[in-house]
């Protein structure tokens, strides 16, 4: 029989241990001193007059939480998480322009105006993109491994050092970013992107045929699951959850059904490699970026098929495997209709890098249960202007879109061209805070925004 006294003793001991763990961190607040998140959020968040250079729907505004720098230069701020007690952690990508190697920045707003006034920096000198948080543990997806840090409530620095969860993940060739997602069933999902554009004999080479079956599937181009409680795992300890996904940097679990969803980076170089089938203008608008539900053992069809949302409105056979822009099967081994199909599509080469399902109550009812997607912006749409560089919203009813995608936040790139060379900001991560605010990161300018709804 359960003894209430035993339970009270256990809770008291746990509280004492947690306070003791926080005592060596000058940036910490003991959990007993932390009010519930909703009570701690100031009603006087001071939005920037220009919303930090972005445009938003009527009734919304944004405050610049921080402009992050590493070595005096804008930090490559990738995915981010906000803890239930309000701390923000941001993954910093691999160094560029002779920046020192780095990993994670922690931020806290102590005044309630929305701007971070405390900052921590910690990492084992590794760049990366992925972050996930749960049960007082912060998980970091470096480019070749997954680490975890003990991060009890109220801390900006971890208790102890990093512990390796998974090592030896491939980080060569294309698509090395590792996205991390925790679900309610104690699974850690890890994206491992493809190492090529279309699994050709000679990658990104004109007229080079595709390899069938694509050998990357055993170690790349899919989603793997790992046990987040175990250390020192390798790829062989994980399970390949789904395959045929070229690069799923944008991943999230939908609370409505507990399933994993993502938006895929579509392939490149249809015209460059196959001008007999595609014009340069067709190459600019093909293929679509696909919003998909990722179920166990699903196959999205890369590299054999891609989704044409402009001319055919279906998955068609890739030219490397006998396609001509219209065929859907090679008549024997590949039938594009048998692969996972998108729930919605976005423009070609928009580069989806982050997504989150909105569960809060701060925003109007139309946003509840829907998904926000952050697009890094294109580089491969010539002769048309590059697009993306925005945050889109898809209304959802359970696991199905209930309306067409719509623009939510724009203006990140600035007003001068050509893009992406002149982009001021490029969105990457997007997540929800405990009060229902939306946070967005930027790996070009190092900026972190907090978007709030003020009515109107």
Chain segment 238-279, per-residue pLDDT in tens = 999 999 999 999 999 999 999 999 999 999 999 999 999 999
Which is higher by pLDDT, 221 or 418? Answer: 221
In this predicted structure, the answer to whether residue 99 has a pLDDT above a threshold of 90 is no
d(CA 151, CA 69): 23
pLDDT tens, position by position, 296-352: 999 999 999 999 999 999 999 999 999 999 999 999 999 999 999 999 999 999 999
pLDDT for the residue 28:
47
Domains (range + CATH), the chain: 41-453 (2.120.10.30)
pLDDT for the residue 42:
54
In this predicted structure, the answer to whether residue 25 has a pLDDT above a threshold of 90 is no
Residue that the structure tokens 């990722």 belong to = 294
Task: Give the distance, in angstroms, between the CA of residue 31 and the centroid of all CA atoms in the same chain.
Answer: 29
Q: What is the mean pLDDT of the segment spanning 126-151? A: 96
Asked whether the beta carbons of 339 and 250 are under 8 A apart, the reply is: no
pLDDT tens, position by position, 169-214: 999 889 999 999 999 989 999 999 999 999 999 999 999 999 999 9
pLDDT for the residue 298:
98
Task: Give the distance, in angstroms, between the CA of residue 165 and the centroid of all CA atoms in the same chain.
Answer: 20
pLDDT for the residue 2:
34
pLDDT for the residue 127:
86
- Assign 96 a pLDDT band (cuts: 50, 70, 90): low
- Assign 122 a pLDDT band (cuts: 50, 70, 90): very high
d(CA 176, CA 195): 8
Q: Is 114 left (phi over 0), alpha (psi -120 to 50) or beta?
A: left
pLDDT for the residue 12:
34
State both tokens at 211: 């390899």
pLDDT for the residue 71:
81
In this predicted structure, the answer to whether residue 30 has a pLDDT above a threshold of 60 is no
pTM over 0.75: yes
Produce one character per residue of 46-80: b if its CB has 16 or more CB atoms within 10 Å, e if not.
ebeeebbbbebbeebbbbbbbebebeeebbbbbbb
Whether the ω angle into residue 281 lies within 30 degrees of 0, i.e. cis, is no
Residues of the chain above pLDDT 70, percent: 89
Q: Find the largest Cα–Cα distance for the chain.
A: 78
Whether the ω angle into residue 276 lies within 30 degrees of 0, i.e. cis, is no
263 burial level (CB within 10 Å; 0-12, 13-18, 19+): buried
């Amino acid at each position: 029989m359960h003894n209430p006294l035993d339970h009270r003793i256990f809770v008291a001991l746990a509280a004492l241990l947690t306070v003791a763990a926080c005592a060596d961190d000058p940036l910490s607040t003991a959990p007993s001193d932390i009010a519930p998140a909703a009570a701690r959020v100031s009603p006087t968040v001071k939005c920037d007059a220009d919303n930090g250079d972005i445009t938003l729907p009527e009734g919304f505004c944004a405050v610049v939480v921080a402009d992050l720098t590493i070595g005096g230069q804008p930090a490559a701020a990738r995915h981010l998480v906000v803890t239930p007690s309000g701390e923000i952690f941001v993954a910093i990508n691999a160094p560029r322009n002779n920046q020192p190697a780095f990993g994670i920045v922690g931020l806290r707003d102590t005044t309630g105006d929305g701007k971070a006034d405390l900052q921590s920096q910690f990492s084992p000198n590794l760049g990366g993109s992925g972050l996930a948080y749960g049960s007082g543990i912060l998980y970091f997806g470096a480019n070749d491994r997954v680490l975890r840090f003990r991060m009890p409530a109220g801390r900006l620095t971890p208790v102890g050092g990093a512990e390796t969860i998974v090592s030896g993940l491939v980080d060569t060739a294309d698509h090395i970013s590792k996205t991390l997602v925790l679900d309610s069933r104690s699974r850690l999902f890890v994206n491992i992107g493809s190492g090529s554009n279309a699994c050709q004999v000679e990658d990104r080479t004109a007229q080079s045929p595709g390899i069938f079956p694509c050998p990357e599937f055993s170690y790349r181009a899919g989603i793997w699951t790992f046990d987040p409680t175990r250390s020192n795992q390798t790829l062989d300890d994980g399970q390949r959850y789904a395959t045929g996904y070229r690069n799923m940097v944008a991943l999230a679990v939908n609370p409505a059904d507990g399933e994993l969803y993502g938006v895929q980076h579509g392939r490149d170089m249809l015209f460059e490699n196959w001008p007999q089938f595609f014009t340069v203008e067709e190459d600019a608008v093909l293929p679509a970026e696909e919003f998909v539900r990722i179920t166990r053992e699903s196959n999205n069809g890369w590299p054999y098929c891609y989704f044409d949302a402009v001319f055919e409105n279906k998955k068609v056979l890739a030219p490397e495997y006998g396609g001509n822009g219209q065929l859907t099967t090679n008549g024997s081994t590949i039938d594009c209709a048998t692969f996972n199909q998108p729930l919605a599509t976005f423009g070609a080469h928009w580069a989806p890098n982050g997504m989150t399902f909105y569960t809060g109550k701060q925003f109007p009812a139309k946003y509840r249960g829907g998904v926000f997607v952050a697009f890094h912006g294109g580089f491969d749409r010539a002769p048309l202007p590059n697009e993306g560089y925005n945050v889109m919203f898809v209304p959802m009813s359970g696991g199905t879109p209930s309306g067409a995608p719509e623009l939510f936040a724009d203006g990140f790139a600035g007003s001068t061209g050509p893009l992406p060379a002149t982009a001021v900001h490029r969105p990457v991560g997007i997540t929800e805070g405990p009060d229902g605010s939306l946070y967005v990161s930027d790996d070009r300018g190092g900026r972190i925004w907090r978007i709030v709804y003020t009515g109107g």
